[in-house]
Chains A and B, each alone.
Chain A
Amino acid sequence: MSEPRTLGSAALVRLVAAREISARIRDKNFIISSVVILVLLIGTLGLQVALGSGGGQTRIGVVGDAATLRPVLEAQGKALDVAVDVQALDDEAAARAAITDGDVDGVLIADGGQQPELLVEQTASGSLQAVVQGAVAQLSVAEQLAAVGIASLDVPELTVTAIDPGADQDGQRVVVAIIGIGVLYGLLILFGQFVAQGVVEEKSSRVVELLLATMRPWQLLAGKIVGLGLLGLAQIVVIAAVGVTGALAFDLVDIPGDLIGTAVSVVAWFVLGYAFYASIFAVAASLVSRQEDLGTVVMPTTLVLVVAFVIGIQASADPGGALAVITSYVPGLSPLVMPVRQAAGDVALWEMALAVVLMLVAIGLIVRLGGRVYAGALLRTSGKTKLREALKAERV
């Protein structure tokens, strides 16, 4: 047997972090929450795909000269902003069968000289009727013009000029940002809670005394935050990867570059936001010794997170507004506001840098001050410790 080695801070922090990860990965709450988040995400993607394909489409069967009718029907559909799917059918019997089976929404019967007829199951939807009516009318006009010898009409071409070609894409960017900060908010709350519960568990089970006989309080705190943080980071990266890959694979967005950019900025803000909130949650939790008391001490911080989330949502409606601009610099609020402003695309580099620097300064302060509270409160394993007592308490 070799002699036990001396352990450096890094080794201790690593040991603590590894324990946190292995304990949490097997924790039922964690597994359930991870599965729920992924299922929600995949469900949302699936729903988008389903809505994007079947729902908005009008399927029209054609009995007669399908080759002529198809381009006209599709052109009408495009003009009316209705996706049209044209199917050629043999005769009226086949048309009736296709309608009853639900293969098509309606069938246009136009074989020969008689009046064209639209066959439907019960009623023709507005778009269906409009598309077919328009197509039939256009064909008829063309035929009658041809009959009187006019081959083509000289109709002036309409020029379309967009005053905001990116409006739709901006909308998509903001939706992506809202989804992003939604995930960010959920994970910050979740992992903040994990950190807080972990701290109280160590206090309430008194194992903290045994731990502090082998390490300093800051090493324990750092290991806990780093371990759970890596787990949270892994989770948000997986979510971002699945979301982005899914959205790109199913062609749900027109702005792949911006989507990836927003996903990256959400992940980056998660790191900063987590460091900020996890430290506060840990310090707050160190003041109590029972899980039952945890709610009251973490409540103020949770409220700040909720407020940040609400401002983030609001900022998506008005990214250039004073509220959004100011709060995007405020440490603690910035992780949930800045990604929205970034997605809306009107953030200068220096603004981003300022928000990050302010956040880093705040994290530094919290870690220093919070570390003192944590160290002072950790061994007071009875009842609640007041913040001031913890600051005054001797640290070992």
Chain B
Amino acid sequence: MLDFDGLRKSFGDNHVLDGVGFTVAPGSMFGFVGSNGAGKTTTMRIAMGLVRADAGEVRWHGRPLDPEARRRVGYMPEERGLYPKMKVGEQITYFARLHGLGAAEAARASEEWVERLGLGERRGDQVEKLSLGNQQRVQLAAALVSRPEVLILDEPFSGLDPIGVDSLAEALLDQCRRGVPVVFSSHQLELVERLCDSVGILARGRMVATGTVEELRRREAGRLLRVVVPDAPPHWADRLPGVRVVSEQAGDTLLELADGTDDQAVLAAALRTGRVTHFAWQQPTLVELFREAVAAPKAVEVAA
């Protein structure tokens, strides 16, 4: 288990992290979302030992992540960084060696990743001569080349074209299948929704929600049921017990069910009006969950 436990950090008066904690199981992918400045990067930098936490710690297999353990972590910083004048192959080899691979093995692993990420022909080129997308691949190779036990990636998808996104997603899923816990941050919420086993939403230095997307939905969704009954007369659902009509438009009805209300009774009532073309619990998208979760507390009160 990769545990982020009670991380606190302030820079002067600015409380950037205020007790951030979550857990990532081996072989699962954790999506880390939050608005700009919410503290995602600081959290990851604490894990990598680049920022010292005021309180709390990050543990891997129950032991605090120390410099030696960090050598087994693949990391991609938010601000990409590579030696601009170093050749692609040599650069990846160098990072492999810094992570503890022997010379021959590092060269072999570098070769393998260069091929795997489609950089074969650019192996001997200086990094600065590559397109941004290709530089990003080199960056990924630098993170993956040492067969890390843990992956921590800050905005790995930013700046990639759709094909690049797909191949990076594939590479990350591959790592998960190897049993590696993957933590990445992103603003591309559809992507997070599609890839991640669990999601953490960070707002103002706190985790406002963590869990599987499914869990978040169930927790955040309320009990909204959408029923489309084209032949039903207006106000068909008004008298149903435990049901409040949120909106109704030409048979497209949105209902809020009180706790304990049987949705099958609602279905039966709908069927009595004629055809039912749609009957489903309303699934809020991650985007909606995110908006809900990160909305300033004041705004939430107003909405409520």
- The smallest beta-carbon distance between A219 and chain B, in angstroms, is 10
How far is it, in angstroms, between the C-alpha of A175 and the C-alpha of B146 when the chains are bound? 55
How far is it, in angstroms, between the C-alpha of A335 and the C-alpha of B98 when the chains are bound? 35
- The smallest beta-carbon distance between B301 and chain A, in angstroms, is 37
| A4-B83 in contact (CB<8A) | no
For residue A210, which residue of chain B has the nearest CB? B81
A201-B83, A206-B79, A210-B77 are contacts. A5–B100 as well, Cβ < 8 Å?
yes
Residues of B within 8 A of A6 (CB): 68, 71, 100
User: Number of residues in B with C-beta < 8 Å to the partner?
Assistant: 34
Which one of A2, A4, A209 has the highest number of Cβ atoms from chain B below 10 Å of its Cβ?
A4
For residue A12, which residue of chain B has the nearest CB? B98
| B100-A4 in contact (CB<8A) | yes
| B82-A207 in contact (CB<8A) | yes
- The smallest beta-carbon distance between A209 and chain B, in angstroms, is 4
| A210-B142 in contact (CB<8A) | yes
Residues of A within 8 A of B79 (CB): 206, 209, 381
How far is it, in angstroms, between the C-alpha of A207 and the C-alpha of B100 when the chains are bound? 18
| B81-A215 in contact (CB<8A) | no
A205 within 8 A of B: yes
For residue B100, which residue of chain A has the nearest CB? A4
> A15 is contacted by which of B48, B77, B97 (Cβ under 8 Å)?
B97
A158 within 8 A of B: no
- The smallest beta-carbon distance between B92 and chain A, in angstroms, is 12
Residues of A within 8 A of B81 (CB): 205-210
| B50-A4 in contact (CB<8A) | no
User: Number of residues in A with C-beta < 8 Å to the partner?
Assistant: 30
Q: How many contacts between A and B, using CB within 8 angstroms?
A: 82
> B70 is contacted by which of A27, A211, A214, A381 (Cβ under 8 Å)?
A214
How far is it, in angstroms, between the C-alpha of A317 and the C-alpha of B95 when the chains are bound? 53
How far is it, in angstroms, between the C-alpha of A210 and the C-alpha of B139 when the chains are bound? 10
For residue B95, which residue of chain A has the nearest CB? A210
B124 within 8 A of A: no
Residues of B within 8 A of A4 (CB): 71-72, 99-101, 146-147
Residues of B within 8 A of A23 (CB): 83, 85-86
B105 within 8 A of A: yes
| B98-A211 in contact (CB<8A) | yes
A386 within 8 A of B: no
How far is it, in angstroms, between the C-alpha of A19 and the C-alpha of B97 when the chains are bound? 11
Residues of A within 8 A of B101 (CB): 4-5
- The smallest beta-carbon distance between B74 and chain A, in angstroms, is 10
A249 within 8 A of B: no
A2-B105, A4-B146 are contacts. A210–B75 as well, Cβ < 8 Å?
yes
Residues of B within 8 A of A212 (CB): 49-50
Residues of A within 8 A of B71 (CB): 4, 6-7, 214
A379 within 8 A of B: yes
- The smallest beta-carbon distance between A223 and chain B, in angstroms, is 11
Residues of A within 8 A of B49 (CB): 212-213, 396
A4-B146, A6-B68, A213-B75 are contacts. A15–B84 as well, Cβ < 8 Å?
no
How far is it, in angstroms, between the C-alpha of A168 and the C-alpha of B142 when the chains are bound? 63
Residues of B within 8 A of A2 (CB): 102, 105
How far is it, in angstroms, between the C-alpha of A4 and the C-alpha of B81 when the chains are bound? 23
How far is it, in angstroms, between the C-alpha of A322 and the C-alpha of B81 when the chains are bound? 52
**Residues of chain A from 269 to 318 with CB closer than 8 A to chain B in the complex:** none
**Residues of chain A from 185 to 219 with CB closer than 8 A to chain B in the complex:** 201-202, 205-216
How far is it, in angstroms, between the C-alpha of A4 and the C-alpha of B148 when the chains are bound? 9
B178 within 8 A of A: no
Residues of A within 8 A of B68 (CB): 6
A160 within 8 A of B: no
How far is it, in angstroms, between the C-alpha of A329 and the C-alpha of B232 when the chains are bound? 102
- The smallest beta-carbon distance between A386 and chain B, in angstroms, is 16
Residues of B within 8 A of A205 (CB): 81-84
B297 within 8 A of A: no
Binary CB contact string for chain A from 350 to 377 against chain B (1 if under 8 A, 0 otherwise): 0000000000000000000000000000
> A206 is contacted by which of B51, B77, B85 (Cβ under 8 Å)?
B77
How far is it, in angstroms, between the C-alpha of A216 and the C-alpha of B80 when the chains are bound? 20
| B102-A15 in contact (CB<8A) | no
Residues of B within 8 A of A5 (CB): 100-102
How far is it, in angstroms, between the C-alpha of A215 and the C-alpha of B67 when the chains are bound? 7
- The smallest beta-carbon distance between B302 and chain A, in angstroms, is 37
How far is it, in angstroms, between the C-alpha of A118 and the C-alpha of B269 when the chains are bound? 140
A4-B72, A209-B50, A394-B52 are contacts. A215–B98 as well, Cβ < 8 Å?
yes
B73 within 8 A of A: yes
Residues of A within 8 A of B77 (CB): 206, 209-210, 213
A4-B146, A206-B81 are contacts. A213–B48 as well, Cβ < 8 Å?
yes
How far is it, in angstroms, between the C-alpha of A201 and the C-alpha of B75 when the chains are bound? 20
| A214-B83 in contact (CB<8A) | no
Identify 16 residue pairs between A and B in the complex whose beta-carbon atoms are under 8 Å apart, listed by A's number.
A4-B146, A6-B71, A6-B100, A7-B100, A22-B90, A201-B84, A201-B85, A210-B75, A210-B81, A212-B50, A213-B49, A214-B95, A215-B67, A215-B98, A394-B51, A396-B49
Please name 12 further chain A to chain B contacts, defined as beta carbons within 8 Å, in addition to the given A4-B71, A213-B73, sorted by A numbering: A2-B105, A6-B68, A7-B71, A12-B98, A201-B83, A201-B85, A207-B82, A209-B81, A210-B77, A210-B81, A211-B98, A396-B49
Which B residues form the contact surface with A (CB < 8 A)?
48-52, 67-68, 70-73, 75, 77, 79-86, 90, 94-95, 97-102, 105, 142, 146-147
Closest 4 CB pairs of A and B: A206-B81, A4-B100, A207-B81, A209-B77
